[in-house]
């Protein structure tokens, strides 16, 4: 199964914003909504193509209420997520899943007092010589790595 994880932008409760709008609510109606992190909404789809289409269907809402749309496609990687743009490029055959892609965003995973994890401090990095630049793990429980296209790589 392919997972989609929508990361809220911090200014809004993403789940509330999506469910309060009819078109978004209808797009979400066929999925079981999950909240793996406090600032996210996640679903499972049957394929990479469906995941990309789902994100495209919600693009108006994502532009306003989300920081990122992440896709985890097990046939590409069991551990590294894909940005929506990177997943679209794979779906469209522009990028091969096996192709070396050096650009990454690393999110810190931080738990609040109640133990609820949230994604924080996205850091853009590049893999060089097979070694990923270090992410500052201070005060972070874990990290979540996302492959991004070169055009998405920002300092």
Which domains, ranges and CATH numbers included, belong to the chain?
2-91 (3.30.70), 103-152 (no CATH)
Span of 44-48, 54-58, 79-83, 98-102 with lowest mean pLDDT = 98-102
Calculate mean pLDDT across residues 141-151: 90
Indicate if the pLDDT at residue 138 is higher than 80: no
Q: 104 - beta bridge partners?
A: 125, 147
Distances (CA, A) of 125 to 16, 110, 128: 32, 19, 10
Q: Are 139 and 110 in contact (CB under 8 A)?
A: yes
Structure tokens at 136: 């500052």
**According to the model, what pLDDT value does residue 42 have?**
98
Indicate if the pLDDT at residue 29 is higher than 90: yes
Indicate if the pLDDT at residue 100 is higher than 80: no
**Which is more confident, 102 or 70?**
70
Q: Which long-range contacts (CB under 8 A, 24 or more apart) does 130-136 make?
A: 132/104, 132/106, 135/106, 135/108
What is the 8-class DSSP label of residue 152?
G
Confidence of residue 58 (pLDDT cuts 50, 70, 90): very high
Indicate if the pLDDT at residue 126 is higher than 90: no
């Amino acid at each position: 199964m392919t997972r989609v994880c929508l990361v809220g932008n911090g200014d809004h409760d993403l789940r509330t914003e999506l469910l309060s709008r009819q078109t978004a609510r209808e797009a979400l109606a066929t999925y079981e909504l999950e909240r793996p992190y406090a600032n996210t909404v996640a679903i499972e789809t049957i394929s990479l193509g469906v995941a990309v289409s789902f994100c495209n269907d919600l693009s108006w809402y994502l532009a306003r209420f989300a920081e990122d749309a992440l896709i985890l496609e097990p046939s590409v990687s069991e551990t590294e997520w894909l940005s929506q743009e990177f997943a679209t490029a794979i779906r469209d055959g522009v990028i091969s899943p096996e192709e070396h892609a050096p650009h990454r965003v690393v999110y810190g995973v931080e738990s609040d007092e109640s133990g609820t994890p949230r994604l924080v401090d996205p850091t853009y990095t590049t893999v060089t010589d097979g070694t990923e630049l270090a992410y500052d793990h201070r005060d972070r429980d874990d990290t979540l790595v996302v492959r991004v296209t070169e055009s998405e790589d920002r300092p």
